[in-house]
Amino acid sequence: MLEHKETIAAISTPTGRAGIGAIRVSGKNSKKIYQALTGSKPEHKRAQYVSFVSSSSEIIDKGVSLFFKGPSSYTGEDVMECFTHGSRFILDALLQEIIVLGARPASPGEFTQRAFLNGKIDLIQAEAVADLIDSNSKIAARSALQSMQGVFSDKIFALKAKIIETRALIEAMLDFPDEEGTEIDAVPAINNIKWCINSINQLLAKTKTGRMLNKAPTIAIVGKPNAGKSTLINFLSGANPAIVSNTPGTTRDLIREPVLLREQPAVLVDTAGIQNTDNPIEQEGVDRTFKMLEQADLILCLVDIGADNQGFQEQIKDAASDIDCIFVKNKIDLYKNIEADDTTTNSELVISAKTGEGIERLIDKICSLLNLTGEEDIIFARQRHIDALSRIQAHMKEALTNIDEKAGMEIVAESFRRSLHEFDTVIGKTTTDDILENIFSRFCIGK
Ligand SMILES: Nc1nc2c(ncn2[C@@H]2O[C@H](COP(=O)(O)OP(=O)(O)OP(=O)(O)O)[C@@H](O)[C@H]2O)c(=O)[nH]1
Ligand SMILES: [Mg+2]
């Protein structure tokens, strides 16, 4: 374990009104600070209800203190955690005392950086800590947690082990070159290389970056005037962002409303009803609707089930041929003889935006088209991991070609050397300081 000279401390909870605030301290002075601040003897993993007292014997607050004896702690060092009331004044005063007692303010991500440098976690896991904190969807949080617990690292280590094993086979061929009359058996090495190429393919197919997982898709609700678009956005959002009225042409501006659909974030956009109009303001609204169509990830094309909708669906399809579109017939409550379930086809749904009939099916359809259903085994990765895996795969393909073309085992061995270097960079064994700086500086303070 690396010996860090300085003890670090930071407020780990965000600024703002909160019931509880937390301060974390890590380093060899943690024990001394604990005793001075609480008057109690720290015990490993034992929470104590204490008074946090200043050097001038004033009680700063009463709360809970915790101590972790290194190396059984997050950072691998002695760690103290203080939980007080959430007031910024209390937290600032306590942090100030801690600094006077022998700590310095921590930089962003410095606790996690120490955990990494002390071998508690590898670099992929450290990155996953930040990704988990930043996750804003259920899938993102779940897959970042998996990566933090080492699921992605395990797969990387399994690949690395196979490449090491294969390099040994290749080196054996170097040590005992093709003697006259004997054929070197390259089949085991070739099989291993093919295994690696396939495994990387499978891994890349499941791997998604935070940008992909945290992105809230945009769903545009379009239709003719009075189809019920604003009623639908109000129903789906559970709020009332849009004015509803039986005057055609009520909505003109685009109305964006963030929502959670099956716990996944999305942005709904209500638009102006599409019609021919002489009114320049309404026309501007229609133009904006068509622009929105080009940017949306999914279109809900809403029509009044009782209206003449001839050619309308085709018009929308022509305007946004590359984007998935769900056709929805609205106002089923006005037609007692039709039931939402009877009329549902693959590409067309029947609903009532007013009563909510058929809406659950609509949400299911939206989630399945946008892939918001939450596949179980998505791997949360950074772009640098994906790039490194792609390069390793390219080296393996190169090795295969060179074996096939009998280019010489030294050349094949070089592909393995480069691959192993890529692995070491990904897991943090030989990662350059600027990459580390880039990773940890993006963390929040106190983690
Ligand atoms: N019965 C019934 N009425 C509905 C339904 N959905 C909307 N309406 C009514 O239809 C009228 C128009 O609704 P809006 O939601 O304003 O329609 P819109 O598509 O936003 O209209 P514009 O903004 O003008 O393009 C209002 O009187 C709504 O109450 C529905 O499912 N059933
Ligand atoms: Mg409207």
Phi, psi of 28 (to 5 degrees): -70, -15
Percent of the chain with pLDDT over 90: 70
Is 264 close to ligand 1, i.e. is its CB under 6 Å away?
no
Q: How far apart are CA 338 and CA 141, in angstroms?
A: 41
* Phi-psi region at 28: left, alpha or beta (left = phi > 0; alpha = psi -120 to 50): alpha
Q: How far apart are CA 235 and CA 364, in angstroms?
A: 15
Is 248 close to ligand 1, i.e. is its CB under 6 Å away?
yes
pLDDT of residue 374: 61
pLDDT of residue 334: 92
Q: How far apart are CA 139 and CA 377, in angstroms?
A: 10
Q: How far apart are CA 41 and CA 50, in angstroms?
A: 11
pLDDT of residue 410: 87
Q: How far apart are CA 291 and CA 287, in angstroms?
A: 6
| Domain boundaries, given as residue ranges, for the chain | 8-121, 128-210+380-427, 218-369
Burial profile 69-108: b = 16 or more Cβ within 10 angstroms, e = fewer? ebeebbbbbbbbbbbbebeeebbebbbebbbebbbeebeb
Quick check: 376 pLDDT over 80? no
Kindly report the CATH class assigned to 8-121.
alpha beta
Least confident stretch, 96-100, 171-175, 429-433: 171-175
Look over the chain and give the mean of its residue pLDDT values, rounded to a whole number: 90
Quick check: 319 pLDDT over 70? yes
**Fold of the 128-210+380-427 domain:** Four Helix Bundle (Hemerythrin (Met), subunit A) (1.20.120)
Is 86 close to ligand 1, i.e. is its CB under 6 Å away?
no
Quick check: 341 pLDDT over 60? no
The model's confidence at residue 181, banded by pLDDT at 50, 70 and 90, is: very low
Angle at 402 between CA 397 and CA 405, to 5 degrees: 125
Quick check: 422 pLDDT over 70? yes
Bigger pLDDT: 95 or 138? 95
Ligand 1 centroid–CA 237 distance in Å is 16
Dihedral, 170, 175, 181, 184 alpha carbons, nearest 10: -10
Ligand 2 centroid–CA 271 distance in Å is 7
pLDDT of residue 245: 96
Q: How far apart are CA 291 and CA 313, in angstroms?
A: 17
Is 222 close to ligand 1, i.e. is its CB under 6 Å away?
no
* pLDDT, average across residues 311-340: 87
Encode pLDDT of 245-276 as tens digits.
999 999 999 999 999 998 888 999 999 999 99
pTM for this prediction: 0.74
* pLDDT, average across residues 290-318: 92
* pLDDT, average across residues 119-126: 94
pLDDT of residue 369: 87
The model's confidence at residue 177, banded by pLDDT at 50, 70 and 90, is: low
Q: 296: how many CB neighbours lie within 10 A of its CB?
A: 21
Bigger pLDDT: 175 or 230? 230
Beta-strand ranges (E) seen in 69-204 are 79-85, 104-105
Nearest by Cα to 264 from 222, 297, 234: 297
Bigger pLDDT: 391 or 444? 391
**Fold of the 218-369 domain:** Rossmann fold (3.40.50)
